[in-house]
Amino acid sequence: MTCAIVDEENMILCQTRSDVTDIFEAEQKRSEALKKALLAAEQATRAKSEFLSRMSHKIRTPMNAIMGMTAIALDNRSDCGQVSECLEKIDMSSNYLLTLINDILEMSRIESGKVVISRREFSFEYLMSSVATIVETLAAKSGVEYQFIENAKPDAQYFGDMMRVQQVLVNILSNAVKFTKSGGKVKFTVDIESETDDETRFCFTVEDTGIGILLRANLPHPSLLRRATFS
């Protein structure tokens, strides 16, 4: 940049020159950094909104099961066996609901990809029963036939993250029910692919008479969720 002072006769009395390239480049860098920060903030906001939207949908599934079992228990108060069965199913659905709520509270950990996979002993029978409790209620409400086929005869206890497996199975099955018209059918099959002293590899298969997974929005590819290994 050049600056000059002239007199009335247009004679130059003083002239200065300075190079502002560094200042300009610094301003450009600051501007780019601000744009990136703004973009990151907008992406984070969208991610949170999408996450909460998905979670609100997921929460409705166990809530429907809890409400359905509560209604059945109230209508059969004199039947102790029926009431006891409903209470057990309400307990299963409540535990699943608590897991979803904990995920919401740990949103920052999920966003950073630091989800902790636990390794605890759990009952495979309880896992299957809890999934069935939630999905059967949803299917009955939607007028969809739900069929569970357990070809495998697994051990009673395994080590792994039961809640994560439960979430995956409930998500897939609830979406299968959601996209199947009334009068349709959803079939859930469990097989053991291989088994050793240290590890059991399961194959979970979900089939339905709905529109097909490729037409459903925002659903993972089935091959990514088809297998689960417990040891």
Q: What is the pLDDT of residues 94-116, one digit of tens each?
A: 887 877 777 676 666 656 666 67
Q: Regarding predicted confidence, which is higher, 210 or 5?
A: 210
Q: The pTM is what?
A: 0.59
Measure CA of the first residue to CA of the last residue in the chain; give whole Å. 72
Question: Cα(69)–Cα(140) distance, rounded to whole angstroms?
Answer: 12
- Phi and psi, residue 212, nearest 5°: 100, 140
**Position 220 pLDDT exceeds 60:** no
**Position 15 pLDDT exceeds 70:** no
Domains, the chain, ranges and CATH?
122-231 (3.30.565.10)
**pLDDT-based confidence at residue 7 (cuts at 50, 70, 90):** low
**Position 171 pLDDT exceeds 70:** yes
Percent of the chain surpassing pLDDT 90? 10
